[in-house]
A and B are shown apart, each in its own frame.
Chain A
Amino acid sequence: MKMKRLIVILTLISMFVLLFGFGASAEPFRVAFLMPSAINDFAWSQSMYEALLTIQKEMGKENFEFVYSENMFVVADAAAAIRDYASEGYDLVIAHGSQYGASLSDIAPDFPDTSFAWGSTANVFADLGITNIFAYEPFSEQGGYVNGVLAAKLSKSNIYGVIGPIETGDAKRYTEGFKAGIKSVKPDAKINVTWIGSYSDVALASEAAQTHIDAGADILTGTSQMTVGAIGVAKQRGALWFGYDVDQSTLAPQNVVASVDVIWTIALKPIIEMIQKGERGGKIFTLNLANGGLKIVVNEEALVGKTIEDIVKGNVEVKVEE
């Protein structure tokens, strides 16, 4: 009799545990995503949006939910949004932009049960005693370096043009890497750099591209959403383009040789795992060629192999000057 009762109790307990376990994992992982431009900006924001879609596809819609707010370039509004999403109980709030860091450091302490992530940066505000912020940092200079090496091997005029937004952040690092990459193959290369002064002035980007080509450049590159203007000119005048953030070859399949695709999932997946295990922040995730965070999407596979290997093995050091 006692045995029977024991078995019943044990079965009930195990059923309970199973049900409870099931119930816990049935709750979807909820992410809120803020970005400074649109999901179709063909650059920074689109890149992360696609990564989130990839994760959703892999995990399934019932296990992974995400909501987003585009065009949050007004930092005060973004701060309100971050606070709001956090108070709505999202597991992870991604503030995708370097201008959001300051707001995050203010808001995160008020929501110890929420995780926050931002980039590009290596700052998790540990010095402020904050433990629920993750940081992600693409090593854009590495991507730039590889693009530069490829460019140097392809260029006939040995003159190159860079069309950047403003000389800060990833744009600056990418450009320095690009220059270093070219110089490593052809030390006497002429690399001209223009800064458009905005992330969205397509007309000025287009004219900059024209001027670069007039100055003899047969290879162009650049970052941010205004580069669509430059890619258009490259297409029109037969120059080659190296892209960043997303695979830009769809815009000009004959002219876009390679793009540095930033694979944010390399950071997002471990972040999600850590949160599910109960760790809310404090780690910096770099995205580079070695860990697959940066992927060179190229048409001429053969040229790439050696350089990526070299960097991965640590044979090549990329330094960014101020």
Chain B
Amino acid sequence: MMEAIIIGIAKSAIRLATPYLYASIGETIGQLSGVLNLGVDGVMLMGAFSAFYMVLKTGNLWLGLLVAIIVGAIFGLLIAFINVTLKAEQGISGIGVYIFGLGLSSLLFSTMVGTVQTVSGFSPLSIPWLSNLPIVGEIFFHQNILVYGAFALIPLAWFILNKTPLGLSIRAVGQNPEAADSLGVSIVRIRYFTVVLGGMLSGIAGASLSIALLNVFQQNLTNGMGFIAVALVYFGAWRPTTVLTGALLFSTVNAIQIWVQVHGINIPSDFTLMLPYIVTIVVLAAMAKRRIHPPAALNKLFERGE
């Protein structure tokens, strides 16, 4: 009985965490190079719609994913252009991207699709042998491929950021742009790269919702998930492994509170719904002793002169 409960909650948590993982890692990489993007939710919505529409029309899931990546990259280019080349106030431009992405995805949905319908998205894929492990097998190895991708992304991001020259350049650009520049690193090129990559990952995050986990699209499908993803970057202190912790913590508490509601435990739903948010803050506060190294050049929401 207990086993079934743990398996259920854990599987839920992993599914819920997937879009956060893609989007948060994307934002982490961008922020490490010194660029803040608050428009993640808007890009997720555009990615979600593009993937959904492609799958609706062609039935090809990989094509849908590809389109989401391309659309995410295009938005990434837009964001990079505004934030890096035009050196705009990154906070406002992010909000602008969000509002634009929300509006455009809704508009395209209304005009190109019209009514709500489902698609047959990525279905759960069992990993041979591993999926037969007791408990762990059921929880981790019976998920769909985009879930696997999200979790594979963590060690990949860690490796790239910590063990490759590219990662070093990224972190240098965000930490000390003058020094990086004098060493011949192109600040502009790195930042464009990270922001476009971030856009692609946000696009995949959206696709994970519309063609894998939920298999549907609706106006404002993400319902603010992108902002939670940005918040989780701060929980993660710009480290992929800690971002994973944050995403799993938030999602697990969410899964638990749903379980609590389903099993009729007499707490008003509003309070259980608050739990993931409260717990995230409390845990972060409890980690107060650890050292945090924000990218020194992270262009904060105000720019104090040239």
Chain A: residues with CB nearer than 8 A to chain B?
37-42, 71, 161, 166-167, 192-198, 200-204, 206-208, 210-212, 214-215, 225, 228-229, 231-232, 235-236, 250-252
Contacts of A37 in B (CB 8 A): 219
- With A203-B209, A207-B15: A195-B258 Cβ-Cβ less than 8 Å: no
- How many interface residues does chain B have, given as a range? 35 or more
**How distant is the Cα of A46 from the Cα of B22 in the complex, in angstroms?**
33
Which residue of chain A lies nearest to B220 when distances are taken between CB atoms in the complex? A200
Inter-chain contact A161/B262, CB cutoff 8 Å:
yes
Residues facing A in B242-269 (CB within 8 A) are: 254-255, 258-259, 261-264, 269
B157 an interface residue at 8 Å Cβ cutoff? no
Residues of B within 8 A of A161 (CB): 262
Chain A residues, CB < 8 A from B126:
none
Asked whether A42 lies within 8 Å of B218 as measured between CB atoms, the reply is yes
Which residues of A have CB within 8 Å of B219? 37-38, 40-41, 71, 200
How far is B115's CA from A250's CA once the two chains are assembled, in angstroms? 10
Asked if residues B110 and A215 are in contact (CB atoms below 8 Å), the reply is no
- Supply 29 A–B pairs (Cβ within 8 Å), ascending by A: A37-B219, A38-B106, A38-B110, A40-B110, A40-B116, A41-B116, A41-B218, A71-B219, A161-B262, A166-B269, A192-B263, A197-B269, A197-B273, A203-B209, A203-B213, A204-B258, A206-B213, A207-B15, A207-B16, A207-B254, A210-B11, A214-B4, A214-B8, A215-B263, A231-B118, A236-B215, A250-B117, A251-B116, A251-B118
What A residues does B19 contact at CB under 8 A? 203
A200 near B218 with CB under 8 A, answer: yes
User: Which DSSP category, helix, strand, loop or mixed, fits chain A's interface?
Assistant: mixed
Which chain B residue lies CB-closest to A167?
B269
17 new A-B contacts, CB < 8 A, other than A208-B258, A228-B116, A252-B118, are A37-B219, A38-B106, A40-B110, A41-B218, A192-B263, A193-B261, A193-B264, A200-B223, A202-B221, A203-B209, A206-B214, A207-B15, A207-B255, A215-B263, A228-B218, A236-B215, A251-B216
Residue among B218, B219, B220 facing the most chain A CB atoms (10 A cut-off): B218
How would residues 1 to 21 of chain B score, 1 for a CB under 8 Å from any chain A CB and 0 otherwise? 000100011011001100100
Q: Which residues of B contact A195 (CB under 8 A)?
A: 261, 269-270, 273
Q: Give the docked Cα–Cα distance between A202 and B19 (Å).
A: 13
Give the residue name and chain of the A residue nearest to B221 (CB): A202
Q: CA–CA, A208 to B225, complex, Å?
A: 17
Residues 175 to 229 of chain B near chain A (Cβ within 8 Å): 209, 213-216, 218-223, 225
Task: Flag if A207 contacts B12 (CB, 8 Å).
Answer: yes
Residue of B nearest to A212 (CB): B262
Q: Which residues of B contact A (CB under 8 A)?
A: 4, 8-9, 11-12, 15-16, 19, 106, 109-110, 114-118, 209, 213-216, 218-223, 225, 254-255, 258-259, 261-264, 269-270, 273
A-B pair count, CB < 8 Å, reads 112
> Within 8 Å CB of B8, what residues of A?
210-211, 214
> Does the CB pair B12–A210 fall under 8 Å?
yes
Q: How far is the CB of B233 from chain A (nearest CB, A)?
A: 19
Assuming the contacts A202-B218, A207-B12, A214-B8, asked whether A192 and B262 have C-beta atoms less than 8 A apart, the reply is: yes
Task: Using A207-B255, A208-B262 as known contacts, say yes or no to A42 and B115 having CB atoms under 8 A apart.
Answer: yes
How far apart are the CA atoms of A161 and B258 in the complex, in Å?
12
Residues of chain B within 8 A (CB-CB) of A196 are 273
- CB neighbours (8 Å) of B214 from chain A are 202-203, 206, 228-229, 232
Task: List the 5 closest pairs (A to B, CB-CB), nearest first.
Answer: A195-B269, A214-B8, A42-B116, A194-B261, A197-B273
Q: Given A38-B106, A203-B223, A211 and B117 touching (CB < 8 A)?
A: no
The complex places the Cα of A214 from the Cα of B8 at a distance, in Å, of: 7
Residues of chain A with a CB closer than 8 A to B216's CB: 202, 228-229, 232, 251
Q: Is the CB of A204 within 8 A of B269?
A: no
Q: Given that A40-B116, A229-B214 are contacting pairs, would A201 and B258 also be in contact in the complex, using a CB cutoff of 8 Å?
A: no
What is the bound-complex CA distance between A251 and B110, given in angstroms? 17
Known: A192-B262, A194-B261, A207-B16. A201 touches B223 (CB 8 A): yes
Q: What's the Cα separation between A214 and B9 when bound, in Å? A: 9
Q: How far is the CB of B292 from chain A (nearest CB, A)?
A: 29
Give CA–CA (A130, B8) in the complex, Å: 54
Measured in the bound complex, the distance between the Cα atoms of B179 and A103 in whole Å is 60
A210 → chain B closest CB, angstroms: 6
Asked if residues B118 and A232 are in contact (CB atoms below 8 Å), the reply is: yes
Q: Which of B115, B223, B270 has the most CB of A within 10 A?
A: B223
Residues of A within 8 Å of B264, CB to CB, are 192-193
> By the criterion CB–CB under 8 Å, are B273 and A203 in contact?
no
> When chains A and B are docked, how far (Å) is the Cα of A290 from the Cα of B50?
45
Residue of B nearest to A161 (CB): B262
State the CA gap A6–B211 with chains docked (Å).
79
Contact partners of B254 in chain A: CB under 8 A = 204, 207
Q: Which residues of chain A are near B213, meaning CB under 8 Å? A: 203, 206
Bound CA–CA A71/B109 (angstroms): 14
Contacts of A202 in B (CB 8 A): 209, 214, 216, 218, 221, 223
Q: Which residues does chain B contribute within 8 Å of A235, judged by CB atoms?
A: 118
Distance to closest chain A CB from B290 (angstroms): 30
Give the chain A neighbours of B116 by CB distance below 8 A. 40-42, 228, 251
User: Distance (Å) between the CB of A308 and the closest chain B CB?
Assistant: 28
